[in-house]
Amino acid sequence: MGDGGELHKDVLDDYIPASAENEISQETVDRIIDKMLLVIDELSGHPLRHYQVPLARRILESMILGDAKTITSCMARQSGKTETIVNTIAAAMIMFPRLAPIFPHLMGRFAEGVWVGAFAPVDDMADNLYGRFVSRLTSERAQAIMEDPEIDDKVAGKGRELKLSKSGSLVRKQTCHPRAQIEGRTYHVVLVDEAQVADERVINKSISPMLASTRGTMVLTGTPSYVKGVFYKVIQQNKRFASKRGERQNHFEATYRDVAKAHPDYGVYVEAEKLKIGEDSDEFKLSYRLIWMLDRGMFTTGEKFERLCDTSMQVVRAWNRTPVLVGIDPARKQDSTIVTVTWVDWDHPDEFGMYEHRLLNWLDLSGLEWEEQYYRIIDWLSAYSIYAICIDAGGVGDVVASRLKVLMPGVEIIECKSDLGAQSKRWKHLMELMRQGKIAWPGHSKARRLKVWKRFQTQMEDAEMRFQGPNIVVEAPDEVGAHDDYVDSLALATWASAELSMPEVQSDENMFYR
């Protein structure tokens, strides 16, 4: 194994912390992870690729901290996502029990081993995942590490369970099929491979509780599918939480382009596949581009959202050349008040009287009393030349509209009804603008870094659509943390152009999105 064969000793040779306070610090955790990455490379025989390292680090961090998170990984086919996870967990099975006495406050729960549940929807899929653990832990490299006097361990495998006899670490093969009886086990880590076809009820009811007493980590891996499932929902939840201050990244993606940068042979093969089956084929989108081919129940998709992004356009924080339209969706309970400003090309209506729109900016107000919100809205809108403001009159909306009419006497305030028929008209108008490409939003790299942009993207891609008689209803999914305030606010802002007659404007070149 050469000089690399002793790298795992660096982990055990680390200092013994002077106190629990020093031990439980991000610096200590990062130091352990850095050394563990060396062990992973030693165990596998090849270094992790650039797109694999963040996933491996986050899994190790979650296990060490015991933060009870669910980590999702959606990577292109044959990108090595399963190998990354197996190598990472196998290294932890060997090393964490040895680190437990050194870092008792941080890793004491691994003193009797790291217990791993290897799940998949059916036995054949579970065989693939479990087989990789067997292959990795029985390899010559693993044997060399475990024969070291400081490790002194060996594999004792039998049937559906492989165990390290001295440390107590184990990995057990199980299925998450709806008819499987799997209750009663306890794990530190649960892995669910091909999670896009896993049963949501089994994962939530039967598997998640297996991690309760250990503050364990769940890792879901897979690729996109045609329908929403637990994998898609957890990915969206992780994306939503990642946009909040202080939250760690728990979702990791790598398309075929990311993989090809690190693996040129992979890139050659995928380019050939692109020619053979077509870049826009369902198979290529699902397997390599990581595009979810969602059913008709979605308001929009990631692909459609990106198509309407103007990559040359940044957020426009002030605009006075032509009159703009504003949509306000007032907060209800835990929702946020969202104000959306849209530019309209008033000079060039099409034959049906529809105008080109550009979304300029958003104001996101949450956690503020309405008396403060009024003045924040007025101050923020002072940077724009406003033609009209559309407000959802349902709930507190009528009060908001009445107050703004007093505070902004020179602006037309439109109170939009919130009944099913009125909402349906707004949604149909917005959908037609999107279908015809008559609306766009900022897509510049600087805009994409903003919290408001990320929330807008998430809510647009989360929004579900259903038909109720002749009417369309668009709303957020019934999930924790899901909202539709940005979508409602945009629908209100664009509806104003259908409700109002064209204002008199001075012709000018539109430079705001250049």
What's the average model confidence in pLDDT over 41-52?
Answer: 94
Asked if residue 233 and residue 355 are part of one domain, the reply reads no
Q: Give SS3 for 144.
A: helix
Check pLDDT > 90 for residue 506: no
Distances in whole angstroms, Cα of residue 158 to Cα of each of 134, 162, 261, 270: 11, 6, 40, 39
Domain annotation covers residue 271: no
Domain annotation covers residue 441: yes
Q: What is the pLDDT of residue 467?
A: 83
pLDDT band at residue 514 under the 50/70/90 scheme:
very low
Asked if residue 208 and residue 86 are part of one domain, the reply reads yes
Domain annotation covers residue 361: yes
- Per-residue model confidence as pLDDT tens digits over 34-43: 999 999 999 9
What's the average model confidence in pLDDT over 320-325?
Answer: 94
Q: Give SS3 for 390.
A: strand
What's the average model confidence in pLDDT over 104-115?
Answer: 94
Asked if residue 139 and residue 32 are part of one domain, the reply reads yes
Contact 161, 171 (CB under 8 A): yes
Query: Residue 161 pairs with which residues in a beta bridge?
Result: 158, 172
Distances in whole angstroms, Cα of residue 223 to Cα of each of 75, 220, 231, 253, 289: 6, 10, 9, 10, 10
Q: Are strands 337-344 and 319-329 parallel, antiparallel or unpaired?
A: antiparallel
What's the average model confidence in pLDDT over 428-437?
Answer: 94
Asked if residue 196 and residue 91 are part of one domain, the reply reads yes
More confident residue, 14 or 294: 294
What's the average model confidence in pLDDT over 484-496?
Answer: 94
Domain annotation covers residue 277: no
Asked if residue 331 and residue 201 are part of one domain, the reply reads no
Domain annotation covers residue 512: no
Asked if residue 118 and residue 26 are part of one domain, the reply reads yes
d(CA 464, CA 132): 38
Q: Which of 415, 434, 437, 443 is nearest to 474 (CA)?
A: 434
- Per-residue model confidence as pLDDT tens digits over 350-383: 888 889 999 999 999 987 777 888 889 999 999 9
Domain annotation covers residue 187: yes
Q: Are strands 115-120 and 189-192 parallel, antiparallel or unpaired?
A: parallel
Q: Which of 187, 184, 193, 171 is nearest to 123 (CA)?
A: 193
Q: Are strands 471-475 and 217-222 parallel, antiparallel or unpaired?
A: unpaired
- Tell me the whole-structure pTM to 2 decimals: 0.62
HSE (side-chain half, CA atoms, 13 Å) at 431? 16
Q: Which of 345, 339, 319, 327 is nearest to 503 (CA)?
A: 345
What's the average model confidence in pLDDT over 197-217?
Answer: 91
Domain boundary among 254, 277, 294: 254
Domain annotation covers residue 280: no
Asked if residue 231 and residue 370 are part of one domain, the reply reads no
d(CA 413, CA 418): 15
Q: Give SS3 for 78.
A: coil
pLDDT band at residue 50 under the 50/70/90 scheme:
very high
Residues 6+ apart with CB under 8 A from 469: none
Domain annotation covers residue 289: no
Q: What is the pLDDT of residue 182?
A: 75
Which domain range does residue 110 map to? Answer: 2-254
- Per-residue model confidence as pLDDT tens digits over 115-170: 999 999 888 889 999 999 999 999 999 999 999 988 989 998 778 899 999 999 99
Q: What is the pLDDT of residue 131?
A: 92
Asked if residue 224 and residue 310 are part of one domain, the reply reads no
User: In CATH, what number is assigned to the domain containing residue 351?
Assistant: 3.30.420.240
Contact 189, 219 (CB under 8 A): yes
The mean pLDDT of the chain is 88
What's the average model confidence in pLDDT over 94-109?
Answer: 94
User: In CATH, what number is assigned to the domain containing residue 37?
Assistant: 3.40.50.300
Distances in whole angstroms, Cα of residue 348 to Cα of each of 343, 441, 502, 506: 13, 19, 10, 13
Contact 297, 474 (CB under 8 A): no
Asked if residue 329 and residue 247 are part of one domain, the reply reads no
Asked if residue 352 and residue 246 are part of one domain, the reply reads no
d(CA 252, CA 85): 12
Q: In this prediction, what percent of the chain has a pLDDT beyond 70?
A: 91
d(CA 107, CA 65): 8
Q: What is the chain's alpha carbon radius of gyration, rounded to the nearest angstrom?
A: 27
Total domains in the chain come to 2
Q: Give long-range contacts, CB 8 A cutoff, 24+ apart: 200-204.
A: 200/229, 200/230, 200/233, 202/176, 202/177, 202/178, 203/176, 203/230, 204/230
Asked if residue 373 and residue 224 are part of one domain, the reply reads no
Asked if residue 319 and residue 242 are part of one domain, the reply reads no
Domain boundary among 225, 254, 283: 254
Distances in whole angstroms, Cα of residue 367 to Cα of each of 16, 177, 290, 325, 331: 44, 43, 36, 25, 10
Domain boundary among 231, 254, 277: 254
Distances in whole angstroms, Cα of residue 201 to Cα of each of 162, 191, 212, 230, 404: 27, 16, 17, 9, 47
